[in-house]
């Protein structure tokens, strides 16, 4: 089987091309010589079965960031039959050096100049025939976003693979990577003969928008207002979808599952219906609104607005020991903490990277979002929902900034911050659909790994021993709740909520499923029961604790892997637990003192 390495600088559309070529067939795998997982996909290219590996975006093969080391180690330890280099056509004068570095490795390669539509709008013209002749490799212009030129690029890759049937590939790639290659003059000669760039790039639309969105006074208020409006839209549009999903799941239970399982022993019937189904279905009811959240956020991310947010926040972030990239990673953490932690590899300064990794788990990730959507819908009116959610996001930012301020003395860094602002773009329907589908797959994957295990364990704890009432103080769950009562009572968290929090250590998605199992209810019946048992002050304290306390096992494992430090991992765990208790205590006791 042939192996193709996909290489390019960050923000060149490399991953968009990978997603377009691989579709839903991508998987995560590990490779010799590196300690991180990479995305790969098996494809039929010409007459060959080939595996396409999406390597991290890098600026330089000789750089010192973790991502650049990953690429070097992959190329040194893994045989690649072809390198597909993806560069941004509109920034070719700054990116061609990477293609020359890869060429000097002796690897068979093709160069794809992506974003040809943006280059055309900017008045940039490229003579790809002249460039190909001087580079000594085939060159094509494409638009991975719209698919233009992608079939021809695949045909070109197939042709290159076929021509290598009897070719002996270089064996000394590791040595070539060590060489300090002087390529500046060669790059300038190629650019001079094959690229025409206007004296002033034509990007008036981006400049006009930036005058508003990057305004030194109004820029940040506009950003946070835009985020609030997005939350309002998600709640308004997502609530009917959530209710519809809950109705379908309840109908499936009453009309199909209950009759089918009626003949089973009572304990097994209870486990499957009140345990597995109640737990999983309560979480599944929130999948539509989670998908909607990521569809909206994908449009924001792909538009280029988040880079502007990083630019706006850089001066403030510098005062607390971070930089604009750290803000981008925090925003990524609102989707999932794991890829955000892995994204810190672009930072060359280890202290800066560790401080950023310390604050990322405090981001309000999508798993916590499910918990908050449920609790907000249970305890607050629809008109209040967006305000409560916005307050939780602000609380997330507050704990992030507080943590950075307190630990910046321990993790000092002088690394300069360089940010390239891309032009504004709008993602295609295909890109939006793929992002939504990836989130559904991610949920289903976690459901099979964690949620079912979690709800089964909660059912066992709340139903044994069998000689006491289910979910009572005499059950195993009740005994555990009693054990933690001296710690959790001062923050308003009762026994039932305590059990849910304990299983939230594994995965936050289990929290809502655990509540469904503990109460033996689902849907509106579960919401009404919880609203009867606790008031909004307890609910808010519970949400604050869930927001801040120890992240899921996947995040903890990633922290250890990326930091290469068990001590740092434990620092993150202990700090988040302690901070969660203090914040919840201050809120709960303060609210009670004010008479709420």
Which pLDDT belongs to residue 569?
93
Check whether residue 137 and residue 284 sit in a common domain. no
Q: What percent of the chain has pLDDT over 70?
A: 85
Residues 584 and 488 in one domain: yes
CB 363 within 8 A of CB 339: no
Max CA distance (Å), the chain = 86
- Do 99 and 183 have their domain in common? yes
**Domain for residue 202, yes or no?**
no
| 455 & 492 share domain | yes
Q: What is the pLDDT of residues 234-246, one digit of tens each?
A: 777 877 887 888 8
User: Are both 187 and 311 inside the same structural domain?
Assistant: no
3-state SS, 495-564, equals HHHHHHHHHHCCCCCHHHHHHHHHHCCCHHHHHHHHHHHCCHHHHHHHHHHHHHCCCCHHHHHHHHHHHC
Give the pLDDT mean for 165-171. 54
- How far apart, in whole angstroms, are the C-alpha atoms of residue 76 and residue 171? 9
| Same domain, residue pair 386 and 461 | yes
Mean pLDDT of 121-136: 87
**Domain boundary residue, one of 128, 162, 196:** 196
Q: Looking at the 3D structure of the chain, how many domains does it have?
A: 2
Same domain, residue pair 154 and 90: yes
Q: Which of 193-207, 260-274, 529-543 has the highest mean pLDDT?
A: 529-543
Sort residue 264 into left (φ over 0), alpha (ψ -120 to 50) or beta: beta
Yes or no: say if 330 and 363 are a contact pair by the CB < 8 Å rule.
yes
When computed from its CA atoms, the radius of gyration of the chain, rounded to whole angstroms, is: 26
Q: Does residue 211 lie in a domain region?
A: no
Tokens 């760039």 locate to 197
Q: In whole angstroms, what is the distance from residue 174 CA to residue 170 CA? A: 10
Greatest mean pLDDT among 153-167, 213-227, 303-317, 379-393 lies in 379-393
In a domain, 460, yes or no: yes
Per-residue confidence (pLDDT) for residue 404, from 0 to 100: 93
CB distance 321 to 561 below 8 Å: no
196 DSSP 8-state letter: E
Alpha-carbon distance 388 to 393, whole Å? 9
What is the structure's pLDDT at 590?
Answer: 95
Same domain, 321 and 444: yes
Q: Is residue 54 part of a domain?
A: yes
Picking from 196, 228, 256, the residue at the C-terminal end of a domain is 196
Contacts of 203 (CB under 8 A, 6+ apart): 121, 122, 423
Shared domain check, 224 and 191: no
Q: Within the chain, how many helices (H) and strands (E) appear?
A: 29, 9
Query: 206 in a domain, yes or no?
Result: no
Q: Report the candidate in 28, 464, 393, 470 with the shortest Cα–Cα distance to residue 230.
A: 393
- Looking at the fold, whether 397 and 525 belong to one and the same domain comes out as yes
Residue numbers of the domain that contains 350: 220-593
The answer as to whether 512 is a domain residue is yes
Q: Which pTM was predicted?
A: 0.64
Q: Are residues 303 and 445 in the same domain?
A: yes
Which are the contacts of 478, defined by CB distance < 8 A and separation ≥ 6?
471, 472, 495
Regarding beta strands 82-88 and 125-126, do their DSSP bridges make them parallel or antiparallel, or are they unpaired? unpaired
CATH number of the CATH domain containing 44: 3.40.50.300
Of 181, 196, 211, the position where a domain reaches its end is 196
* pLDDT tens-digit series, residues 323-382: 777 887 887 787 778 777 877 876 767 888 899 999 999 998 877 888 898 899 889 987
Residue 535's pLDDT is 93
| In a domain? residue 167 | yes
Strand (E) or helix (H) holding 123: none
d(CA 183, CA 101): 8
Cα separations in angstroms, 490 against 487, 494, 501, 538, 547: 7, 10, 15, 10, 18
pLDDT digits (tens, 9 = 90+) for 446-502: 656 667 777 788 888 888 888 887 777 788 888 888 888 899 999 999 888 888 888
> Is residue 276 assigned to a domain?
yes
Mark whether 348 and 400 lie in a shared domain. Answer: yes
């Amino acid at each position: 089987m042939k192996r193709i390495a996909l290489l390019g600088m960050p923000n060149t559309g490399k991953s968009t091309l990978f997603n377009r070529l691989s579709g839903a067939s991508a998987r995560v795998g590990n490779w010799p010589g590196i300690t991180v997982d990479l995305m790969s996909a098996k494809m039929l290219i010409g007459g060959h079965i080939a595996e396409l590996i999406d390597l991290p975006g890098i600026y330089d093969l000789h750089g010192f960031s973790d991502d650049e080391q990953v690429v070097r180690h992959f190329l040194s330890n893994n045989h690649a039959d072809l390198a597909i280099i993806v560069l941004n056509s509109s920034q070719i004068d700054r990116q061609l050096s990477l293609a020359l570095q890869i060429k000097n490795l002796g690897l068979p390669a093709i160069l794809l100049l992506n974003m040809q539509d943006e280059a055309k709008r900017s008045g940039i013209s490229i003579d790809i025939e002249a460039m190909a002749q001087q580079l000594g490799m085939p060159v094509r212009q494409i638009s991975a976003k719209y698919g233009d030129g992608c079939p021809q690029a695949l045909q070109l890759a197939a042709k290159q693979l076929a021509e290598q049937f009897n070719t002996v590939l270089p064996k000394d790639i590791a040595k070539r990577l060590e060489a300090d290659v002087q390529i500046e003059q060669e790059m300038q000669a190629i650019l001079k003969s094959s690229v025409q760039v206007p004296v002033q790039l034509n990007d008036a639309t981006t400049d006009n928008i930036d005058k508003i969105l990057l305004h030194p006074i109004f820029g940040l208020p506009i950003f946070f207002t835009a985020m609030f409006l997005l939350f309002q839209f998600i709640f308004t549009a997502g609530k009917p979808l959530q209710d519809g999903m809950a109705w379908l799941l309840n109908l499936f239970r009453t009309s199909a599952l209950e009759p089918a399982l009626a003949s089973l022993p009572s304990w097994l019937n209870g486990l499957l219906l009140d345990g597995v189904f109640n737990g999983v279905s309560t979480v599944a009811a929130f999948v539509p609104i989670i998908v909607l959240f990521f569809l909206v956020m994908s449009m924001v991310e792909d538009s280029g607005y988040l880079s502007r947010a990083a630019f706006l926040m850089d001066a403030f972030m510098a005062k607390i020991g971070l930089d604009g990239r750290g803000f981008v990673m925090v925003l990524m953490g609102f989707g999932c903490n794991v890829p955000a932690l892995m994204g810190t590899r672009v930072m060359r300064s280890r202290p800066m990277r560790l401080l950023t990794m310390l604050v990322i788990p405090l981001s309000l990730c999508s798993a916590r979002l499910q918990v908050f959507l449920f609790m907000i819908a249970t305890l607050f009116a629809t008109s209040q929902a967006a305000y409560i959610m916005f307050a939780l996001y602000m609380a997330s930012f507050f704990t992030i900034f507080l943590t950075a301020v307190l630990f910046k003395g321990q993790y000092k860094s002088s690394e300069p911050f360089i940010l390239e602002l891309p032009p504004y773009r709008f993602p295609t329907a295909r890109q939006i659909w793929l992002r939504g589908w990836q989130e559904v797959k991610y949920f289903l994957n976690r459901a099979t790994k964690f949620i079912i295990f979690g709800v089964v364990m909660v059912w066992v704890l709340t139903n044994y021993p069998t000689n006491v009432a289910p979910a009572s103080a005499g059950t195993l769950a009740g005994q555990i709740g009693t054990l933690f009562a001296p710690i959790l009572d001062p923050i308003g968290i009762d026994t039932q909520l305590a059990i849910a929090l304990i299983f939230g250590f594994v995965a936050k998605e289990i929290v809502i499923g655990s509540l469904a199992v503990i109460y033996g209810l689902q849907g509106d019946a579960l919401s009404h029961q919880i609203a009867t048992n606790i008031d909004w002050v307890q609910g808010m304290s519970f949400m604050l604790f869930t927001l801040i306390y120890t992240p899921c096992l996947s995040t903890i494992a990633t922290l250890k892997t990326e930091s290469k430090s068990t001590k740092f991992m434990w620092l993150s765990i202990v700090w988040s637990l302690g901070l969660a208790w203090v914040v919840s205590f201050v809120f709960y006791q303060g609210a009670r003192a004010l008479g709420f």
